[in-house]
Amino acid sequence: MAITFAASSHATVRRARPRGRAVRRNLTGWAFAGPATALVVGLSLFPAIWAFFISRARWNGIAPGVQVGWSNYQRLASDPDMLAAARHTLLLTVLFVPSSIVLGIVIAIALNQRIRLIGFYRTCIFVPYVASAAATGILAGFVFNPQFGAANDVLRHLGIPQQQFLESPTQALYVICVIALWGEVGFTTVIYLAALQDIPKELVEAARMDGASRWRVFRHVTMPELRPVTVFAAVWQTITAVQLFDLIYTTTRGGPLNSTQTVVYYIYELAFQTQRLGYGAAAAYLLFAVTLLLTLGIIWYSRRRGSEVF
Amino acid sequence: MQSPKRRLPFSAWHLLLMPLALLFVLPLVQMVLTSFMSSAEINQFPPKLLPTSLHIEGYRALLTETPALRWFANTVLVSTVSVLAHLVLCSMAGYGFARLKFAGRGVAFLVIIATVMIPIQLLMIPTYLMFARIGIVDTLAAAFVPWLASAFGIFLMRQFFLALPVELEEAARIDGCGTWRTFRSIVLPLARPALATLAVFTLLSSWNDLLWPLVAISDDNRFTLQVGLANFQGMRRTEWSQLMAGNVLATAPLIVAFLFAQKRFIATMTFSGLKG
């Protein structure tokens, strides 16, 4: 109000009202949008830019940092720990993303049937998604405990030798992938279920009337309708897999023998266990760039295949 | 679709769904049952699913030997502040971007959308330093400040307001309502479904967050439940009844909320899935 008044007192009477109104409109607009915008910019855009400058320094957060140009990035390229972490993240992503999509489609189709108990099935399958990854990790440590865990008990009943699971360097990453799927498949299932329910019934019925087999209907009617959701799920699950941290922290903490140390876990250790802030920030930027490229790659590929989702 | 040949007295889909449902829900059931077992019962092989009698030692030890109740209260506080702030700030900003015309609106919205892709791993180092400088590291504020508003929340609310018919607001204007009154008494009551979606989304994210509070808080008494449990587990890998009791404390509130408001949760998952 004060500003409106000041503005009108300086202007001629004829110009004052529209100008005052414009100021007032801007003020009202920013009063609504400003606080949230300031928070988002201040807590993501600003730190993201700052992180870039940190990534070009050698800095432990206490003594003054030394600008070192691109050398952090150059060192990352030949850091054996980073390369191993990248390999683990890649393996996890390659296993997790397609599995969560295929399982999501299969379970969504099953849950889309009109049969008894379907409400019960849906509740059971979605509920792990609500449990925190930290709790899921702790629970997994119990279920996959080599001495008395339920997983080994099941293997015993099936006549399969007992396994070390999370305590074995060759198995731990695969077990973590299974646990992540247990927690996240509910999400892909829900979005596929929604997409299935959006497919016009007439489309399926018409194809059936024309004599198409169930498989052909699925292949040529249902699948194309699901494609946009698949693109989205691929992007989302790729981000989920690349950023997986909580589960690793509460199951193996990167072990045994660093076999589950992923890039994100490595960044956490660099920055907050060994205080190498510049080097950690460089690794984080590299991870961001790769994730962005992967995402754009998936979108580009899907566009070329003729589905537009973004 | 109906099953083609009825050889089974029930649909063949049950053969897939029943084992799947059990696979998803049994670990959680075991978690609850184990939290009521004694250590002796837990450490035997083959494992027993049911406790012989109700042992509450796990809970008692957890609550007396750790500040778990404090962690629980901290988590409740952090989540409550996050949800309320999200509801207020994101709905206001969403309305501003959807309906009000002001200088810089387009640019500001573009910047907000561009931040969606920036991951927490990139932000945690500078945010930690920033919070250290303003002196809120190691306080509960450090845990909730990043959750006060989000690009996703602003986007969600803006999309909802854009889809509302504008006539009601125009009528309110003609009747002499100012922008705030129109927003507060005409628009917000219509936005209940979107607000509920936003609340569930924020609750899930802030309640379950581990990485950020782990970084930002190192004082035991200010841990959130997730951080407290993760650290407790690091120290006592074998106290399974206590760990499972803690897990129950950490997951039960959201699971119960999910069971009561399943439709709302699923709408939230679908929205973040299809439009996020």
Task: Please give the mean pLDDT across all residues of chain A.
Answer: 89
A113, A148, A288 ranked by CB distance to B122: nearest: A288
pLDDT of residue A160: 93
User: Is B197 part of a structural domain of the chain?
Assistant: yes
User: Is B25 part of a structural domain of the chain?
Assistant: no
User: Is B93 part of a structural domain of the chain?
Assistant: yes
pLDDT of residue A6: 40
3-class state of residue B155 by DSSP: helix
pLDDT of residue A208: 86
Inter-CA distances, A172 with A141, A245, A253, B222, Å? 11, 14, 11, 32
Is B234 in Cβ contact with A33 (below 8 Å)?
Answer: no
CATH of residue B108: 1.10.3720.10
Our separate counts of H helices and E strands in chain A read 15, 2
pLDDT in tens, A132-146: 999 999 999 999 999
pLDDT of residue B5: 55
pLDDT of residue B117: 85
Q: How far is A186 from chain B (nearest CA, A)?
A: 9
Strand-pair partners of A57:
A67
DSSP string, A83-108: HHHHHHHHHHHHHHHHHHHHHHHHHH
Residue A20 banded pLDDT, cuts 50, 70, 90? confident
Each residue's pLDDT expressed in tens, for chain B with a length of 276 residues: 455 555 677 888 999 999 999 999 999 999 999 999 988 888 877 778 888 888 999 999 999 999 999 999 999 999 999 999 999 999 999 999 999 999 999 999 999 998 988 989 999 999 999 999 999 999 999 999 999 999 999 999 999 999 999 998 999 889 888 999 999 999 999 999 999 999 999 999 999 999 999 999 999 999 999 999 999 988 877 789 999 999 999 999 999 999 999 988 988 888 765 543
User: Is B71 part of a structural domain of the chain?
Assistant: no
How far apart CA A143 and CA B266 sit, in angstroms, is: 27
Residues A232 and A191 sit within 8 Å (Cβ to Cβ): yes
pLDDT of residue A309: 53
User: Is B66 part of a structural domain of the chain?
Assistant: no
Write out chain A residues lying below 8 Å of B92, CB-based.
32-33, 35-36
Q: Per-residue pLDDT for A103 more than 60?
A: yes
pLDDT of residue A10: 44
pLDDT of residue A9: 42
Q: Which residue of B has its CA nearest to A144?
A: B27
User: Across residues A227-237, what is the average pLDDT?
Assistant: 91
Q: How far is A14 from chain B (nearest CA, A)?
A: 22
Give me the sign of the Cα torsion angle A133, B79, B84, B261. positive
* Non-local CB neighbours of A40 within 8 Å, separated by 6+ positions: B112, B115, B149, B150, B151, B154
Closest CA to B11 of A104, A114, A214, A126: A114
At A67, give phi and psi (nearest 5°): -70, 130
Q: Among residues of chain A, what percentage have pLDDT more than 70? A: 93
Q: Per-residue pLDDT for A158 more than 90?
A: yes
Residues A50 and A278 sit within 8 Å (Cβ to Cβ): no
* DSSP label of B115: G
How far apart CA A106 and CA B161 sit, in angstroms, is: 35
B204, B211, B237 ranked by CB distance to A245: nearest: B211
Is B45 in Cβ contact with A214 (below 8 Å)?
Answer: no
pLDDT of residue B274: 53
**Between A204 and A53, residue with greater pLDDT:** A53
Residue where the block lists tokens 């202007």: A11
Write out chain A residues lying below 8 Å of B120, CB-based.
243
User: What is the count of structural domains for chain B?
Assistant: 1
User: Is B58 part of a structural domain of the chain?
Assistant: no
pLDDT of residue A307: 59
Strand-pair partners of A58:
A66
Q: How far is B157 from chain A (nearest CA, A)?
A: 12
Q: Per-residue pLDDT for A3 more than 80?
A: no
Closest CA to B270 of A33, B262, B172: B262
User: Is B89 part of a structural domain of the chain?
Assistant: yes
Residues B143 and B79 sit within 8 Å (Cβ to Cβ): no
Residue A228 banded pLDDT, cuts 50, 70, 90? confident
pLDDT of residue A273: 92
Domain annotation for chain A: domains and CATH numbers: 2-55 (no CATH), 71-304 (1.10.3720.10)
How far apart CA B218 and CA B228 sit, in angstroms, is: 10
A110, A127, A232 ranked by CB distance to B16: nearest: A110
Is A134 in Cβ contact with B215 (below 8 Å)?
Answer: no
CB atoms within 10 A of CB A174: 15
* pTM as predicted: 0.90
Contacts A–B by Cβ distance under 8 A: 301
How far apart CA A165 and CA A171 sit, in angstroms, is: 6
Inter-CA distances, A273 with A126, A267, B70, B214, Å? 35, 10, 26, 12
Q: Which of A50, A52, A103, A132 to mutate to test the interface with B (most CBs of B within 10 A)?
A: A132
Range of B216's domain? 77-274
Is B31 in Cβ contact with A139 (below 8 Å)?
Answer: yes
pLDDT of residue B248: 96
User: Is B148 part of a structural domain of the chain?
Assistant: yes
A274 touches B at CB < 8 Å: no
Residue A17 banded pLDDT, cuts 50, 70, 90? low
**Between A8 and A194, residue with greater pLDDT:** A194
Quick one: three-class SS letters along B38-62?
CHHHHCCCCCCCCCCCCCCHHHHHH
Geometric angle at alpha carbon A260, from A255 and A262, rounded to 5°: 125
Is B112 in Cβ contact with A43 (below 8 Å)?
Answer: no
Inter-CA distances, A208 with A203, A204, A258, Å? 9, 6, 53
